[in-house]
Chain A
Amino acid sequence: MSSTNRTDVFDEAPLLERARAGDARAFTELVNRYERRIFRLAKHITQNEEDAEDVLQETFLKAYSHLGEFQGQSKFYTWIVRIAVNESLMKLRKRKSDRMVSLDETIDTGEEMVVREIAVWDGNPEQRYSQEELRQILEKAVDSLRPPFRTVFLLRDVEELSTEETAALLDLSVPAVKSRLLRARLQLREKLTRLFKRKGDDVFAYL
């Protein structure tokens, strides 16, 4: 499995060219590079391991079939993220039941942005916790966000799509993406600060 998971540290144009020409090994290399991130994204959106497996498979099968349509204006990774998000949303729609909150649920835009925890963090959590502990903390925090906030946060701040790309993909307006992202960021900041703050440093909440 690839040790690199960033989309911007290597030039993958030659690899893509080979994959497009039918070189199966080149395509497999692209899959190995991105399967972990696509699986993580699908798990966060669907909140279901089996669905995430299906999404992972469908994403790369579709990517292979439609490789000729990928024109290279966006990064290959952004292109497969789009496929994976669409597949994940389809899963959600199919499985829509009472316990699932729809991604299109109406957001009360009048809701205040509350900031309760104002405290500096105690050192660097990345040094204080193991990768595994940190992963569990962060994944739990993301999964506790309401779906409309969670998906926008994942696409903008984890997968690094632009506001416009996120809006188009989720069929939202640009202001809606911005407002959801702000809430998501503040909520995550709040959750992490509760865990990572320096003890005795609490300041009265404001707003």
Chain B
Amino acid sequence: MSSLNEMLDMGGHGIYVWSSYAITLVVLALNVVQPWLARRRLVNEEARRRRREVM
């Protein structure tokens, strides 16, 4: 267990390294998820518009 802690602590630099990686992961994920959600929104909007036209 202590070796895991040591590995995560990185000789006192862990906080800097891990915060950097966490922020980067969030930003990268955001850049993929956001266009994906927007695409779904467009598909749904179009589907609703089509249903209105049929009625």
A is bound by B: no
